[in-house]
Amino acid sequence: MYDVIIIGAGPTGLTAAIYASRRMMKTLVISKNIGGQVVWASEIENFPGIKLIKGPALIGGMLEQVKNMGVEIKTGEVSKITRRKDGSFTINIANEEFVTKTIVVAAGLSSRKLNLPNEKELTGRGISYCANCDGPFFKGKTVAVVGGGNAAFDAAEVMSKIASNVYLICRDAKLGCFESLEEKVRKIANVKIVFVNEITGIIGSKKLEKIKIINTVDKTEKELEIDGLFIEIGHEPKTDMLADLVKRDTLGQIIVDLNGKTSLDGIFAAGDVTANEFKQIIIGCGQGAVAALSAYKFIQEGK
């Protein structure tokens, strides 16, 4: 019987593990991979106390700290979560089963991909899924943003203040963003909105060099020379295993209170997987700490 099982080993989950361990809770971290989206971040310069650090290095330090504290880590994907009669939970991964008093869900988000050749290889080498995270590294450069929703238009607006030129590539003429945001971006001099076009190719060896686009109406093709590509076509929270247990919003994000408590006693959630507007490393870490402490308090109070 574990005191807490943390699902997810990104910054949020690892921070939760640190705080749970400091409360002498028997802790297990289960995750499909270590690091989450942070491992794709080439450089991070907005983590307090650290001037500049690469994503893998930040995660490496957190992982070492967690292991030194004696936290168990299990690699695998959660297939099922069941609530037991006594209020505890059973978590299944592959052919293994674990029992815990509480759960902290920190599974994060999965960025939607273009699923094009070279996309994975050049992620962190010109390709990013977060303009707020990586935008400052493209100061004075030419970049492209792909997407037609609020996230893409917001990214284009952010990058217009950093990059010299911004291409905003929208597959459809009908957009999914707020009209006010579209109007604002249309007025920005260094942003060129390329309607009814989609990316068909990503070119580069050691770093991103060009993208191929095709007009979906007249089928004309061309190449754009760019230094950065921000793929802003949405994210998917990893919450399906909780669909019958906790309340989620229309996007599948877990609804929590200020203490990370979900609609079901004993299950807490933190970070990008929650209905939190701002998806940032430091916010996830803070919420991970809160969720772990809330889980500890829940056990202490014997609820």
Q: What is the pLDDT of residues 69-105, one digit of tens each?
A: 999 999 999 999 999 999 999 999 988 999 999 999 9
127 plus 227 within the same structural domain: yes
7 plus 94 within the same structural domain: yes
Q: What is the pLDDT of residues 170-219, one digit of tens each?
A: 998 888 888 888 999 999 999 999 999 999 999 999 999 999 999 999 99
What pLDDT does residue 109 have? 82
Q: What is the pLDDT of residues 141-165, one digit of tens each?
A: 999 999 998 889 989 999 999 999 9
91 plus 13 within the same structural domain: yes
66 plus 96 within the same structural domain: yes
Which of the four pLDDT bands, split at 50, 70 and 90, describes residue 303?
low
- Residue 238 exposed, middle or buried by CB count within 10 Å (0-12, 13-18, 19+): buried
What pLDDT does residue 55 have? 83
Q: Which of 231, 252, 285 is the last residue of a domain?
A: 231
124 plus 209 within the same structural domain: yes
Q: What is the mean pLDDT of the chain?
A: 93
Inform me whether the pLDDT recorded for 41 exceeds 80: no
Domain residue limits at 265: 2-110+235-300
Q: Degrees (nearest 5) of the Cα angle 158, 160, 164? A: 140
Nearest-angstrom CA–CA distance, 266 and 276: 20
Q: Degrees (nearest 5) of the Cα angle 79, 231, 133? A: 90
Number of residues assigned to the chain: 303
What dihedral do alpha carbons 135, 141, 144, 150 form, nearest 10°? 40
Nearest-angstrom CA–CA distance, 298 and 20: 12
Q: Is the dihedral of CA 192, 190, 210, 114 positive or negative?
A: negative
Total domains, the chain: 2
CATH of the domain at 267: 3.50.50.60
91 plus 75 within the same structural domain: yes
